[in-house]
């Protein structure tokens, strides 16, 4: 029998706004308006200042470890411009999207300050708490998407993760189940070139991250993650497909982690400074500003005004977090069960374990009974 090709595919790369702020008008049709681009610019400035202050809070001992978002903000922020009441399932570097989706900005700082109220999502905000374990949250996104399909809604779940997460088994399980069930789920990989200190080329043999989704029957595309127009178009198309029940999309967004992995990391130990300098020229914020300046919509005066507004707003957010009332110990009990069991109610009310509250004699070690000859 003659040989035949059983499968053949390719991965498209999409860029609409280049590094100099020049737009491909044809590809940009039906994407972002200039007003939306301006709003994204101001939002990224706000998020960058938030990042800088969070870094200083950690360095001054006022907050725990913090992962900076600098360099990647355009991906998450732009993707959120597409959605409405859809669900967002983040990892830990999507502040720009979380804030646009309705999460109060205090929540992220509270989380990293160790206050669990930072993870108490308001009921009208369709986001999940940030996920620190690598890759596990993609399964949650798939589950939410499948649930929405079973409920016969047109809601979509979008999940964000890094390139390193695609080397985890959870990614493959989530992709396989989502595609088989045609769950309305969009997978957005923020390929920032580094899985902590491991470069992409040393943790996967595939030429792209996007091609990994082909094995599961997903639609796959690679985009310039520092190009807001490309990210918007790819996400808009993927969400539309998912909403119509036409399957899963994996979007690989090429970007760069401008800061350290977290404040517990020092990227200078493993990253070439020339690589950082090269990617700094591709900064999504600079690209947007060049585009807007050419349109007469951005200048030094507007930049200073945006920065001043960001400083004022973030200062108030920090004040709100640091002056928040101490949590009640009742919170340990009251958010675990819908109806608190009697034994736990006894513990809560007595502030002692149930057995100790019922038998106070157990509260200390009893002296052994004297031995008689």
Quick check: is 92 catalytic? no
Report the C-alpha gap between 293 and 27 in whole angstroms: 21
Report the C-alpha gap between 183 and 342 in whole angstroms: 40
pLDDT at 161: 97
Q: pLDDT tens-digit profile of 178-210?
A: 999 999 999 999 999 999 999 999 999 999 999
Quick check: is 257 catalytic? yes
Q: Confidence band (pLDDT; 50, 70, 90) for 349?
A: confident
pTM: 0.91
Report the C-alpha gap between 238 and 83 in whole angstroms: 11
Q: Please give the angle made by the CA atoms of 114, 117 and 118, to the nearest 5 degrees.
A: 70
* Domains identified in the chain and CATH numbers: 13-322 (3.40.50.970), 331-356 (no CATH)
Give me the sheet containing 219-224, strands edge to edge.
Answer: 13-14, 219-224, 249-254, 185-191, 157-162, 87-89
Quick check: is 216 catalytic? no
**From 59, 268, 270, 335, the catalytic residue:** 270
Q: pLDDT tens-digit profile of 286-325?
A: 999 999 999 999 999 999 999 999 999 999 999 999 999 9
pLDDT at 335: 81
Q: Confidence band (pLDDT; 50, 70, 90) for 363?
A: low
Average pLDDT over the chain, rounded to an integer = 93
Q: pLDDT tens-digit profile of 150-184?
A: 999 999 999 999 999 999 999 999 999 999 999 99
Q: Confidence band (pLDDT; 50, 70, 90) for 334?
A: confident
The answer on pLDDT for 122 being more than 60 is: yes
pLDDT at 332: 84
**From 257, 282, 287, 291, the catalytic residue:** 257
Q: Confidence band (pLDDT; 50, 70, 90) for 71?
A: very high
Specify the higher pLDDT residue, 63 or 363.
Answer: 63
Torsions phi, psi for 112 (to 5 deg): -75, -15
Q: Cα(first)–Cα(last) distance of the chain, in Å?
A: 97
pLDDT at 249: 98
Q: Confidence band (pLDDT; 50, 70, 90) for 355?
A: low
């Amino acid at each position: 029998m003659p040989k035949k090709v059983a499968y053949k595919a390719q991965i498209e790369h999409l860029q609409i706004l280049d590094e100099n702020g020049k737009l491909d008008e044809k590809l940009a049709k039906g994407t972002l308006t200039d007003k939306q681009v301006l709003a994204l610019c101001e939002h990224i400035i706000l998020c960058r200042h938030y990042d800088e202050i969070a870094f200083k809070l950690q360095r001054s001992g006022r907050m725990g470890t913090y992962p900076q978002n600098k360099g990647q903000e355009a991906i998450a922020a732009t993707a959120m411009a597409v959605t409405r009441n859809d669900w967002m399932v983040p990892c830990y570097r999507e502040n720009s999207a979380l804030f646009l989706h309705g999460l109060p900005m205090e929540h992220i700082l509270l989380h990293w300050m160790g206050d669990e109220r930072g993870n108490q999502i308001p009921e009208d905000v369709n986001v999940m708490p940030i996920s620190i374990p690598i890759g596990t949250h993609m399964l949650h996104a798939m589950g939410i998407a499948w649930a929405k399909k079973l409920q016969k809604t047109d809601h979509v779940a979008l999940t964000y993760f890094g390139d390193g997460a695609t080397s985890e088994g959870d990614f493959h399980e989530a992709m396989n189940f989502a595609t088989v069930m045609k769950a309305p789920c969009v997978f957005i990989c923020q390929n920032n070139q580094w899985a902590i200190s491991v470069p992409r080329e040393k943790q996967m043999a595939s030429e792209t991250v996007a091609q990994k989704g082909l094995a599961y029957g997903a639609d796959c595309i690679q985009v310039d993650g520092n190009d807001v127009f490309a990210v918007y178009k790819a996400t808009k198309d993927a969400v539309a497909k998912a909403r119509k029940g036409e399957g899963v999309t994996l979007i690989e967004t090429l970007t760069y982690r401008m800061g350290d992995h977290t404040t517990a990391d020092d990227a200078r130990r493993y990253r070439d400074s020339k690589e950082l300098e090269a990617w700094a020229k591709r900064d999504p914020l600079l690209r947007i500003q060049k585009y807007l300046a050419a349109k007469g919509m951005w200048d030094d005066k507007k930049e200073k005004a945006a920065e001043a507004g960001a400083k004022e707003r973030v200062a108030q957010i920090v004040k709100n977090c640091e002056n928040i009332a101490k949590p009640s110990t009742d919170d340990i009990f009251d958010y675990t069960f819908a109806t608190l069991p009697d034994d736990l109610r006894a513990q809560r009310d007595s502030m002692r374990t149930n057995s100790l509250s019922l038998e106070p004699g157990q509260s200390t070690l009893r002296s052994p009974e004297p031995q008689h000859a």
